[in-house]
Amino acid sequence: MCLLKPRCLLGPAFSEDMKLLFLACLSPKTGNHTTAERIRSHIESAGHTCELRDAAAFQSSAEVANLISGHPPFEGALAIHLFRAGSLLLGLGVELMDELRVFLLVCGLRRVKDPLYLVDVFSEWHRENPLNVLVVIGPRIDPVFSVEVEAVVKKTAGVFLAGARSQRELHAAMKRCFAVVNSSVSEGMSAAILEAMDLGVPVLARDIPGNAAVVRHESTGLLYSSPQEFLHQSQRLLSDRELSERLVRNGKLYVEEHHSLGQERETYQRLVDTLLLAYGHSV
C-alpha cells in the first residue's frame, strides 16, 4: 500500500529524490522484516530517503499523520502487511489527490522571484488544513540560492519543490492546480500569469507594477501585498465560487484580447512585410 503527497501532481516524469515513511511488521527474524529491509534497500538505491518504522510502535493513524507532517515532513508513505501496517495509512487522507488544493508557484530559483516569500504563512495554513499545499516548480537558475531554497523547503510542512518541466508538462500541472501564484519582487510581464489565464486557472499575484499591469484585482486575478494578504485572498478564492469563475472568465478574455497568439503572429508578419517593402524601395 502506497500513499504519495502532491508532488505526483507533476506526473510520472517526476524523478527527484523523496523522503518516504515505510511501515512494516519488524518482529525479529521474520519474513516481513527481511522483506521490508530488502524493499528499503531498493528504494534508497534509487536515491530516495526511506525511513523504516515498526507498525507495532503506533497506536493509531493519527500518530502516523503527526509523524508524516513533522519537521522535516515525509513526502509519502508505504506499508507492507495490509492489516497491521496498511491500516495505519487508511485514515490519513494523503491518497485524496482530487481534494487537494494545490497552489502552484511557477518560477526559476533566483532571488528576484522570491520563492520563499510565502513559505512561512503557507506552512501554518497547511497545518490548519493539510489539503492546502504549495508547489514551487521551475529550474535552478541561481545555484547558491537554489541550495538555500531546497534547505528551507525540506524542513517546511506543506511546501514542495519540483524542478524544471517541459512546457507540455508544466501546462498539465497548471491545469490540475487550484491557482497559479506569483511572488516576484520585480516582473516585466509574467509569462506564467498569462499562460494561467489562457488555461483557465485563477491567478494570485504579488502587487508589484509588472503584475498590476496585467492582473486587474478582482477582475482578471487577485493581487496581494503581504503574506498575510495572500492568505486572505486565497481563502476568499476557496470560499467564493462566483469570484473564481469571474477571474477565470475575465482572465481568458483578457489574454484573447491583448495577448492573442494569432494577433501576435499577424503583427510580426506585418512588421516583416513593412521592412521588406522599405528595403525594396531603398534599393
So what's the pLDDT on residue 42? 84
**Do residues 75 and 7 lie in contact, with contact meaning Cβ atoms separated by under 8 Å?**
yes
Superfamily of the domain at 100-261: Glycogen Phosphorylase B; (3.40.50.2000)
pLDDT tens track for 114-169: 999 999 999 999 988 888 999 999 999 999 999 999 999 988 888 988 888 888 88
* pTM tops 0.75: no
Question: Is-contact 74 67, C-beta < 8 A?
Answer: yes
Among 61-65, 109-113, 235-239, which stretch is predicted with the lowest mean pLDDT?
Answer: 61-65
Average pLDDT over residues 201-216: 96
Location of each CATH 3.40.50.2000 domain in the chain? 100-261
Mean pLDDT of the chain: 85
User: How does pLDDT run across 155-183, given as a tens digit for each residue?
Assistant: 888 898 888 888 888 999 999 899 999 99
Residue range 228-254, pLDDT digits in tens: 999 999 999 999 999 999 999 999 999
Using CA atoms, how far apart are residues 141 and 124, in angstroms rounded to an integer? Answer: 28
Q: Of 188, 187, 256, whose CA–CA distance to 220 is shortest?
A: 256
Q: In this model, does residue 2 exceed pLDDT 60?
A: no
Residue-level pLDDT at 180: 98
Show the 3-state SS of 236-260. Answer: HHHHCHHHHHHHHHHHHHHHHHHCC
Tell me the C-alpha distance between 249 and 118, whole Å: 26
